[in-house]
Amino acid sequence: MEIVGCHAEGEVGDVIVGGVEPPPGETIWEQSRWVANDGRLRSLVLNEPRGGVFRHFNLLVPPVSPEADVAFIIMEPEDTPPMSGSNSMCVATVVLETGIVAMTEPVTNLTMEAPGGLVRVVAQCSKGKVTSVQIRNVASFCAGVDRSLHVEGLATLRVDVAFGGDSFVMVDAADLDIDIVPDNGRRLAELGTRITAAANEQLGFGHPTTDWSHISFCQIAGPLQQQGEGRFAMTSTSVIEPGKLDRSPTGTGVSARMALLRHKGVMQVGDQLTMSSVIGSQFVGRIEADTTLGGLPAIVPSVEGRAWRTGTYCHQVDPSDPWPLGYRVSDTWPNRASTSATGAGLPNR
């Protein structure tokens, strides 16, 4: 299995470029559901000893849409999601810098097919390097405003729910009496997983055109600041299951936040939002247009950031290895038993 390492503004998004056959399915969404349900590839790359809870992987597959230059399936620690902003930036950077897709300087336009739909990419390029990636994300929408949420051990919270290529419950950091800084990472992750669990139990989520039916992330956000006409900024962190912080500002989270702010009338078409992460990295989002999705008001967002290759490597499986699909231990994989439900800790005999 041939892999190119990459990260986008701090979040790992390695890309599998060879050694894996395309999964069954007539669409990229169906293929991603097969990967999620089968579990073996996910276990192989995400579990120890090859992976870890901090890693994401992207499997390159042949595109289905005639408009697409490349297609990919995203594998996060617990989910196989419709879309990811940071992973899209990693994929675009890898396919251009390795020559899988031809690079044109100073700007390369390409179309990538994610499970959630087509993603238009504008990549700034110089001397064989991708210097920034702007993605035009899938339609994003607000799913709930100012909802009451009871979380055991916390006061009743007021939260919002939105979709930006993935699904979010959103809460103000001030309501949790916590600052979004690296030293608070463990506490932020613990709070976020509890809030996500409560939101799935009490609020739920349903996508109007796919079977995506749960809330994936908790976005804990600082105050919104206006920096000029149509220009906004904020700091946030997205808590990824089973309990880690996104090191990047989370492209789907930026899109979801803009959908919420558009719904509230705070942002208009053409306005931009600069989102900072827990490590200080930034994505710049922009509302490109209004649209509808399954009859719901929605926006077409774009998100811009940077990604860097970190190396190339290969994975292999020794037939004598008693843990061919790896294992998980709860000291580093939060809220999990010592082995995964897919049998990741069991010998394959």
Tokens read off for 38: 């089968």
Residue 165, both tokens: 């290529």
Domain ranges of the chain: 2-136, 141-303
CATH T-level assignment (fold) for domain 2-136: Diaminopimelate Epimerase; Chain A, domain 1 (3.10.310)
Contacts of 310 (CB under 8 A, 6+ apart): 5, 6, 7
Identity of residue 69: D
Which two structure tokens, joined as six digits, stand for 299?
């926006």
State the pLDDT at residue 346.
Answer: 31
Calpha distance 120→302 (Å, rounded): 9
The reported pTM is 0.92
pLDDT at 335: 64
Phi-psi region of 10 (alpha: psi -120 to 50; beta: other; left: phi over 0): left
Give the Å distances, CA to CA, from 189 to 110, 179, 219, 244, 271. 35, 12, 10, 5, 30
Show Cβ contacts of residue 187 under 8 Å, excluding neighbours closer than 6 positions.
178
Sign of CA dihedral 166, 92, 63, 18: negative
User: Is the N-terminal amide bond of 62 cis, ω within 30° of 0?
Assistant: no
Q: Is residue 320 among the annotated active site residues?
A: no
**SS3 call for 190:** helix
Would you write out the chain's pLDDT as a tens digit for each of its 349 residues? 999 999 999 999 999 999 999 999 999 999 999 999 999 999 999 999 999 999 999 999 999 999 999 999 999 999 999 999 999 999 999 999 999 999 999 999 999 999 999 999 999 999 999 999 999 999 999 999 999 999 988 989 999 999 999 999 999 999 999 999 999 999 999 999 999 999 999 999 999 998 899 999 999 999 999 999 999 999 999 999 999 999 999 999 999 999 999 999 999 999 999 999 999 999 999 999 999 999 999 999 999 999 999 999 999 999 999 999 999 998 889 864 333 333 333 332 2
Q: Which of 84, 86, 167, 302 is catalytic?
A: 84
pLDDT at 211: 87
CATH of 141-303, one of 3.10.310.10, 3.30.70.1110, 3.40.50.300, 3.90.320.10: 3.10.310.10
The Cα-based distances of 212 to 75, 166, 205, 269 in angstroms read: 15, 9, 8, 27
- Do 2-136 and 141-303 agree at the fold level? yes
Q: How many of the other CB atoms lie within 10 Å of CB of 26?
A: 8
Sign of the CA dihedral with 238 first, then 69, 140, and 199 last: negative
Closest CA to 117 of 74, 152, 160: 74
Q: Which amino acid type is present at position 129?
A: K
